[in-house]
Amino acid sequence: MYCLELAGDEDAFAICEAASAASAVDRVAPGLATARGIDVDRVETLAYTRAASDLIARTDADIEAATLALEAATFDRTGSVAVRARDVRSQTGCSTQTAERQLGSVLVDRGFTVDLDDPDHELRVLFSSGTVDGEQRDVCLLGWLAAESTRDFGERRPTDRPFFQPGSMDPLDARALVNIAGAGPETTVLDPMCGTGGVLLEAGLVGARLVGVDAQWKMTRGSRENLEALLPADVDAEIVHGDATALPLVDDCIDGVVFDAPYGRQSKIARHELTDLVGGALSEARRVADRAVVVADRSWEDAASEAGWTVDRRFERRVHGTLVRHVHVLSAE
């Protein structure tokens, strides 16, 4: 069993993404989940999971309880160790410094040496308190660090790319979307409205082959420029000028589709034309793939169902002011 440290403040969305790298993910407290198994390489690519640890014990959110649990735990590790404690979302009031000192002493008594810079093992001590499914949870999870996600998203801010247009998606969110869509080695990901290429960039960084389509020549040129500048040279990427409602692709050739639909309030597209565009794009996506993630400023559940998709989940994620992104997780089942 493993414990997952979730990032952001929307645990359901983080867990949906985490399921691409872990099995049987279950939220146990705000900001914390457990999983039956993990893919270490995939955990390293997650946006909304910070780390996964091999679970040692679960106790109340109390330093003394955590200390007793560690004293009673059995494990066959030796060498140097560092203890890292977190009061997740600062809700328990537990002193992380006291926890690190007290649990570190337990490990020293069991033969470990302390190395805060480059330890052989890292013990994560995670305190959390809050409501889950209407039930108050006060929890501490103890585990040996197994994998951490690579937190380099700030290096790829849209404004720092060679080609930029307002409204480009943040790389943190783009990474989560491609993970939910199943991007990874030996997969092909399509963005039929690829814009500046932000979604494709994140899919390429997790090892996927890329297909991008956009109706504007300016966007296809800019997307190519961004991908050439920011992706390894060996990533297979093809960007073409085309129509999302009439893709130049054969049936069932794509593993996952991700696109950010035009927003009605910001787009010059008339409402009935927008309906035709998104509905057509959903139909074409279903023709070429059996998995998709679609982002929009409203619910397109009815259009997705009409196009042959099953809506597995829909998340409403506030961006700013009145703008709420609706994230539709779609499957062919």
- Structure confidence by residue, pLDDT tens digits, 236-271: 999 999 999 999 999 999 999 999 998 865 455 555
Place of tokens 């597995």: 312
State the total domains in the chain.
Answer: 2
Same domain, 144 and 157: no
Boundary-marking domain end, from 116, 148, 180? 148
Boundary-marking domain end, from 118, 148, 178? 148
Nearest residue to 42 via CA among 208, 209, 238, 212: 208
Boundary-marking domain end, from 90, 125, 148? 148
Rounded Cα distance between 291 and 332, Å, is: 6
Q: What angle do the packed helices 96-109 and 63-72 form, to 10 degrees?
A: 20
In contact, 38 and 2? CB cutoff 8 Å? yes
Same domain, 58 and 84: yes
Same domain, 186 and 265: yes
Residue 332 in tokens: 């062919």
Rounded Cα distance between 320 and 170, Å, is: 13
Same domain, 125 and 164: no
Rounded Cα distance between 199 and 210, Å, is: 10
246: domain CATH number is 3.40.50.150
Same domain, 309 and 250: yes
Rounded Cα distance between 263 and 271, Å, is: 10
pLDDT at position 267, please? Answer: 52
Same domain, 258 and 272: yes
Same domain, 220 and 315: yes
Rounded Cα distance between 173 and 160, Å, is: 17
65: domain CATH number is 3.30.2130.30
pLDDT at position 130, please? Answer: 94
Same domain, 26 and 121: yes
Same domain, 277 and 162: yes
Going by C-beta distance under 8 Å and a sequence separation of 6 or more, which residues neighbour residue 228?
A: none
The identity of residue 80, as a single letter, is S
Same domain, 241 and 288: yes
Rounded Cα distance between 317 and 299, Å, is: 12
pTM of the complete model: 0.94
Rounded Cα distance between 139 and 60, Å, is: 5
pLDDT at position 226, please? Answer: 97
Write phi, then psi, for 178 (nearest 5 degrees): -70, -35
Distance between start and end Cα atoms, the chain: 29
Rounded Cα distance between 21 and 17, Å, is: 8
Domain that holds residue 83: 2-148
Rounded Cα distance between 306 and 73, Å, is: 54
pLDDT tens, N- to C-terminus, the chain (333 residues): 999 999 999 999 999 999 999 999 999 999 999 999 999 999 999 999 999 999 999 999 999 999 999 999 999 999 999 999 999 999 999 999 999 999 999 999 999 999 999 999 999 999 999 999 899 999 999 999 999 999 999 999 999 999 999 888 999 999 999 999 999 999 999 999 999 999 999 999 999 999 999 999 999 999 999 999 999 999 999 999 999 999 999 999 999 999 999 886 545 555 558 899 999 999 999 999 999 999 999 999 999 999 999 999 999 998 777 788 999 999 997
Rounded Cα distance between 83 and 307, Å, is: 51
Same domain, 206 and 295: yes
Same domain, 133 and 210: no
Beta-sheet strand order (sheet of 323-331): 237-241, 209-214, 188-191, 256-260, 291-296, 323-331, 310-320
Rounded Cα distance between 120 and 100, Å, is: 16
